């Protein structure tokens, strides 16, 4: 492993603090102050990094509970709290309540917004009734509701300012992603890949809610906003037209998935938005094969990283990670932006730890592929990624479409849960490392023929999942990844899949949560565990930090659920239920139960910590 000192890193935080005029000025002002946690991913670069340094390796063991708040909602609590000045904004799963809490009074409720939604949307939410959080900008709080309503609230009162409809639940469309405000627009995606939804990203005017542009994931170039003469793939113009149609059989692209329920990052200097698209519909690859062949059936532009112009939505460049996906390796994971030195050359890069088990580093200006390596040794569906073509070299033994037919494949690694799902990683410009929550789970995959009916599941596969063989006996690892070398620096095992978002800090102390409900602090240099605390329920939310009245706090939402915890969240017990996830986490109920609780931690004295432990 090369020493971290070889990096010549430029802090993305410093770039943001410079406040380029292209970014939203209000958001820049909020993220400029490290006392706030004003975006779900911490900043436009998606680094989940804080310059706060009161909590150190020497005193982190003195963390204690400062106060707690019950959300009043069960099911899975993804995302995390935002902090702006004296106010914390938190959200819940369906019915998507938003609370504004007074930090001057231990979380007193300043206002509460509870939308009226038809509960009939719940059955068309693929993997629990989750929501990944709100956005705050220009005195407004933006919420994407499960029923596809995007609403703008007054940040001081909770009063509705405007709302628009982003989709149709009758077609299986839902809204679970956290919005992001870029310049004068609020961006939001769509969920429903398991219902044959055609994915899109949409920009709305911050002040009025009027739609500015919508870009689809599949279909003709005009819908996807591609100019094949200008749009780059692997650093070169695409050239061929309408690949979003030609690489599908018939009109399958119209129900082609590629939904956009993950995270969005942004480079203010380049004025580019980055995000990923999900799995193609259906999960049965045979139904997506042209002329019964894998060749020519890439199902573009599912499973793709897009770089789009923030003003127009036009595509600058794109890269498809898993063409003709045969395993449900949704490509929506966060795209972390960082500035590094590679081979003596300074690079603006994008780092993506994909569900498919490969860690990618790309030039975020041109889309050139720089690194593509496995970050879990159990990954077997592909042997490697060909750097010249950018394509994975598929291992036919684990194909679900071998010899042009549906194939029942056993021992496929990773499972559809991925080596990492949407739970966001953290990047430290100090160490040059990415801190990644990972899963260590494999599967058996049985495709079957399925017909499309609007609003009905369009899956076409039965899955069973289980811990990866020859592992440490657990289903999770928390790792430090070198995005330049494409190597794991250290790995920390966990009993269950690690399903929370990570946090990195200037003091060299990082944090993540576990499915059993533990909040864990670790040394960012070597992974050594520094502290562990059991919260009331399993953690699938993202750990945040902020400062108030001169004191640094750590905050996290706990509430088991999401795809990993769907068995507990929805009361499912059959092993293949929950699209196969129930069996993988069959024993999770022995360690945690449902709940929806915000826990806020502060440093206490050594004496106070000892007294708490003795009780």
Cα separation values, 355 from 85, 328, 376, 429, Å: 36, 9, 11, 24
Q: Which residue has the tokens 């542009």?
A: 213
Whose CA is closest to 572, among 61, 128, 121?
Answer: 128
Question: How far, in Å, CA of 483 to CA of 339, rounded?
Answer: 11
**CB count in 10 Å sphere of residue 403:** 8
Given a contact cutoff of 8 angstroms between Cβ atoms, the answer to whether 22 and 241 are in contact is no
Q: Is the pLDDT of residue 5 over 50?
A: no
| Helix (H), strand (E) at residue 67 | strand 63-70
In 225-366, where does DSSP find H-type helix? 243-246
The predicted structure's pLDDT at residue 281 = 94
The predicted structure's pLDDT at residue 404 = 87
Question: How far, in Å, CA of 474 to CA of 455, rounded?
Answer: 37
Question: How far, in Å, CA of 144 to CA of 132, rounded?
Answer: 9
Please give the structure tokens belonging to residue 523.
Answer: 């040394």
Over residues 258-276, the pLDDT tens digits come to 999 999 999 999 999 999 9
Q: Is the pLDDT of residue 484 over 90?
A: yes
What's the pTM? Answer: 0.94
What three-state secondary structure class fits 18?
Answer: coil
pLDDT tier at 23, thresholds 50, 70, 90: low
Q: How far is CA 233 from the centre of its chain?
A: 23
Q: What is the 3-state secondary structure (H, E, C) of 154-222?
A: ECCCCCEEEEEECCCHHHCCECCCCCEEECCEEEECCECHHHCCECEEEEEECCCCCEEEEEECCCCHH
Whose CA is closest to 598, among 71, 192, 46?
Answer: 71
pLDDT tier at 100, thresholds 50, 70, 90: very high
Question: How far, in Å, CA of 170 to CA of 162, rounded?
Answer: 23
Q: Is the pLDDT of residue 6 over 90?
A: no
Compute the C-alpha angle 548/554/558, nearest 5°: 130
Q: Please, which residues have CB within 8 angstroms of residue 14's CB and are 6 or more apart in sequence?
A: none
Over residues 519-536, the pLDDT tens digits come to 999 999 999 999 999 999
String of b and e for 215-238 (b: at least 16 CB within 10 Å)?
A: bbbbbebebbbbeeeebbbbeeeb
The predicted structure's pLDDT at residue 19 = 35
Please give the structure tokens belonging to residue 344.
Answer: 């003596």
pLDDT tier at 606, thresholds 50, 70, 90: low
Cα separation values, 261 from 87, 141, 447, 450, 610, Å: 27, 19, 24, 23, 44
**Cα torsion angle, 556, 426, 551, 28, sign:** negative
The predicted structure's pLDDT at residue 471 = 78
Q: What is the pLDDT of the chain when averaged over all its residues?
A: 93
pLDDT tier at 3, thresholds 50, 70, 90: very low
Question: How far, in Å, CA of 586 to CA of 148, rounded?
Answer: 32
Rounded to a whole number of angstroms, the CA Rg of the chain reads: 22
pLDDT tier at 612, thresholds 50, 70, 90: very low
The Cβ-side half-sphere exposure at 508, using a 13 Å CA radius, reads: 11
pLDDT above 90 covers what percent of the chain? 88
The predicted structure's pLDDT at residue 28 = 79
Across 509-528, average pLDDT: 98
Residues designated as active site: 328
Please give the structure tokens belonging to residue 69.
Answer: 């708040």
Residue of 223 and 16 predicted with greater confidence: 223
Question: How far, in Å, CA of 117 to CA of 285, rounded?
Answer: 35
Cα separation values, 366 from 46, 263, 348, 372, Å: 19, 20, 10, 16
Over residues 190-203, the pLDDT tens digits come to 999 999 999 999 99
Compute the C-alpha angle 580/582/583, nearest 5°: 80
Interstrand relation of 272-276 and 265-267 (parallel, antiparallel or unpaired): antiparallel
The predicted structure's pLDDT at residue 473 = 73
Over residues 424-477, the pLDDT tens digits come to 999 999 999 999 999 999 999 999 999 999 999 999 999 999 999 887 778 999
Please give the structure tokens belonging to residue 15.
Answer: 């770039």
Question: How far, in Å, CA of 48 to CA of 263, rounded?
Answer: 12
Q: Please, which residues have CB within 8 angstroms of residue 422's CB and are 6 or more apart in sequence?
A: 78, 132, 261, 262, 263, 332, 333, 334
pLDDT tier at 137, thresholds 50, 70, 90: very high
User: Torsion-angle region of residue 122: left (phi > 0), alpha (psi -120 to 50) or beta?
Assistant: alpha
| Helix (H), strand (E) at residue 566 | helix 566-570
pLDDT above 70 covers what percent of the chain? 94
Q: Longest Cα pair distance anywhere in the chain, in angstroms? A: 72
Of 134-138, 150-154, 206-210, 583-587, the one with minimum mean pLDDT is 583-587
Please give the structure tokens belonging to residue 507.
Answer: 């003091």
Strands (E), 223-277: 232-233, 236-237, 265-267, 272-276
Of 177-191, 255-269, 382-396, 582-596, the one with minimum mean pLDDT is 582-596
What three-state secondary structure class fits 568?
Answer: helix
Q: What is the 3-state secondary structure (H, E, C) of 94-125?
A: CCCCEEEEEHHHCCEEEEEECCCCCHHHHHHC
Q: Which residue has the tokens 């100019």?
A: 227
Question: How far, in Å, CA of 297 to CA of 327, rounded?
Answer: 15
Domains along the chain? 4-614 (2.140.10.10)
Given a contact cutoff of 8 angstroms between Cβ atoms, the answer to whether 263 and 427 are in contact is no
Q: Is the pLDDT of residue 20 over 90?
A: no
Q: Is the pLDDT of residue 145 over 70?
A: yes
């Amino acid at each position: 492993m090369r020493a971290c000192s070889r990096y010549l890193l430029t802090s993305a935080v410093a770039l943001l603090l410079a406040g380029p005029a292209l970014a939203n000025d209000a958001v820049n002002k909020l993220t400029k102050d490290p006392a706030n946690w004003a975006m779900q991913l911490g900043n436009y670069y998606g680094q989940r990094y804080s310059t706060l340094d009161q909590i150190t390796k020497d005193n982190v063991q003195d963390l204690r509970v400062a106060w707690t708040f019950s959300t009043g909602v069960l099911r899975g609590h993804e995302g995390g709290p935002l902090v702006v000045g004296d106010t914390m904004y938190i959200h819940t799963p369906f019915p998507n309540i938003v609370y504004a809490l007074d930090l001057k009074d231990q979380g007193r409720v300043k206002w509460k917004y509870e939308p009226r939604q038809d509960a009939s949307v719940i059955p068309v939410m693929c993997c629990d009734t989750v929501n990944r959080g709100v956005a705050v900008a220009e005195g407004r709080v933006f919420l994407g509701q499960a029923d596809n309503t995007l609403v703008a609230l007054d940040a001081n009162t909770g009063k509705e300012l405007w709302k628009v409809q982003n989709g149709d639940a009758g077609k299986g469309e839902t809204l679970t992603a956290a919005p992001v405000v870029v310049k004068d627009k609020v961006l939001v995606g769509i969920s429903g890949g398991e219902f044959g939804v055609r994915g899109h990203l949409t920009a709305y005017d911050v002040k009025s809610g009027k739609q500015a542009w919508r870009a689809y994931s599949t279909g003709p170039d005009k819908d996807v906003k591609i100019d094949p003469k200008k749009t780059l793939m692997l650093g070169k113009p695409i050239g061929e037209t309408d690949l979003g149609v030609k690489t599908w059989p018939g009109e399958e692209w119209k129900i082609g998935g590629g939904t956009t329920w993950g995270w969005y990052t942004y480079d203010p200097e380049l004025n580019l938005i980055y995000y990923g698209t999900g799995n193609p519909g259906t999960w049965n690859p045979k139904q997506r094969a042209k002329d019964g062949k894998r060749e020519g059936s890439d199902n573009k532009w599912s499973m793709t990283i897009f770089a789009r112009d923030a003003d127009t939505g036009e595509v600058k460049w794109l890269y498809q990670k898993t063409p003709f996906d045969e395993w449900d390796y949704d490509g929506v994971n966060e795209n972390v932006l960082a500035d590094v030195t590679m081979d003596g050359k300074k690079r603006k890069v994008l780092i993506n730890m994909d569900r498919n088990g490969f860690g990618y580093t790309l030039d975020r200006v041109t889309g050139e592929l720089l690194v593509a390596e496995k970050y879990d040794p159990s990954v077997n569906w592909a042997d490697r990624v060909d750097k010249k073509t950018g394509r994975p070299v598929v291992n036919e033994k684990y194909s679900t479409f071998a010899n042009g037919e549906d194939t029942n494949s056993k021992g496929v690694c990773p499972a559809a849960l991925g080596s990492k799902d949407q739970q966001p990683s953290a990047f430290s410009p100090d160490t040059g490392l990415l801190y990644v929550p990972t899963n260590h789970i494999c599967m058996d995959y049985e495709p079957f023929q399925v017909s499309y009916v609007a609003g009905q599941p369009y899956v076409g596969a039965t899955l069973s999942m289980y811990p990866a063989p020859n592992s440490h006996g657990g289903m999770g690892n928390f790792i430090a990844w070198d995005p330049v070398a494409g190597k794991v620096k250290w790995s920390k095992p966990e009993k269950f899949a690690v399903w929370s978002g990570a946090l990195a800090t200037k003091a060299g102390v990082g944090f993540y949560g576990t499915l059993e409900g533990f909040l864990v602090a670790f040394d960012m240099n070597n992974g050594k565990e520094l502290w562990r605390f059991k919260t009331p329920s399993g953690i699938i939310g993202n750990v945040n930090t902020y400062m108030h009245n001169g004191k640094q706090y750590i905050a996290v939402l706990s509430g088991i659920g999401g795809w990993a915890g769907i068995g507990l969240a929805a009361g499912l017990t059959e092993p293949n239920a929950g699209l196969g996830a129930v069996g993988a986490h069959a024993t999770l109920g022995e360690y945690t139960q449902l709940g929806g609780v915000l826990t806020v931690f502060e440093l206490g004295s050594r004496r106070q910590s000892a007294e708490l432990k003795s009780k």
